[in-house]
Amino acid sequence: CAKVKAEHLKPSGLLQQPEIPEWKWENVNMDFVTGLPRTPSGYDSIWVIVDRLTKSAHFWPKKKTDSIEKLTELYLKEIVYKHGVPVSVISDRDSLFTSRFWVSLQKALGTQLDLSTAYHPKTDGQSERTIQTLEDKLRACVIDFGSSWDKHLSLVKFSYNNSYHVSIKAAPFEALYGRKCRSPICWSEVGES
């Protein structure tokens, strides 16, 4: 593990803490992990969306050239239809998040967009911390599996969502569903009742 962990230095700047959410998947952070090695399928980035209350996250491989319409379809299918329309979305000022189409969509959905600025984030740093964890896990995947990191992203997501988080004193899966995940890793421990 120590071989794949990167140094994580926080930039200077004022940190503005958003309020603690009251309900699951009403307040989300989103960001992109870019500059990844291109996979044989052509993916070079990951879209990360994190629920601020439970810390549960979704990771999707994407291509730098993916259109906002394609990402919107994914957002509707994987976030809105599964968790409901978020009350607020915190993101950086990526051109996709500031596009007229995306801003209009969020306005039509009744979602407040909060855009952070460099070194003066309006976030609690949740997406940044999640991305750091994701990158550490991806480095381990690349060491073990080579350039096909996209084929193992679901396993990385499963691992992340079932790892204990000190801030919530539980794994995101447990915070979201109210129980521990039944995992193939733990089946031998379950036994018969």
Per-residue pLDDT, averaged over 170-190, amounts to 80
The whole-chain average pLDDT of the chain stands at 83
DSSP code string of 13-43? S---PPPPPSSTTSEEEEEEE-SPPPPTT--
Residue 23 has pLDDT above 90, yes or no: yes
Q: Hey, what CATH topology would domain 27-185 get?
A: Nucleotidyltransferase; domain 5 (3.30.420)
The pLDDT assigned to 103 comes to 93
Q: How confident is the model at residue 59 (pLDDT cuts 50, 70, 90)?
A: very high
Q: At what angle are helices 68-75 and 100-109 packed, to 10 degrees?
A: 20
Question: What pLDDT, on the 0 to 100 scale, is given for residue 58?
Answer: 96
Residue 190 has pLDDT above 80, yes or no: no
Q: Where are the alpha helices (DSSP H) in the chain?
A: 68-75, 81-83, 100-109, 126-145, 153-161, 172-177, 187-190
